[in-house]
Amino acid sequence: MLGESTRGGYAVQRVTTRQLEARAVGGVAAVAVTLEVQGQPGVEHLVTTLDALPGILEVTTTDLGQDAD
């Protein structure tokens, strides 16, 4: 995920993970990974790329907007 993000021209600002409660997929515990990225005008291509990676169950986005100066 990190490699695909940086190859796509994004700078990964923050990575967080958390174990998903009582959710196992194929006998393996699932983990939610949150990436905060910057660097491109849109994330549509990144979403498509990450969603196609093996082991990825779902990709969603949230627009955090610009920080106020």
**Is residue 59 domain-resident?**
no
Residue 40 located in a structural domain = yes
Alpha helices per DSSP H over the chain: 2-7, 44-51
> What domain range includes position 10?
2-51
Report pLDDT for 31.
86
Q: How many domains does the chain have?
A: 1
Identify whether 65 is part of a domain: no
**What contacts 50, CB < 8 A, 6 or more positions away?**
1, 4, 5, 56, 59
Tens digits of residue pLDDT in 25-35: 666 778 889 99
Q: Average pLDDT, whole number, for the chain?
A: 84
In a domain, 27, yes or no: yes
* Residue 56 within a domain: no
pLDDT tens digit sequence for 49-66: 999 999 888 898 887 765
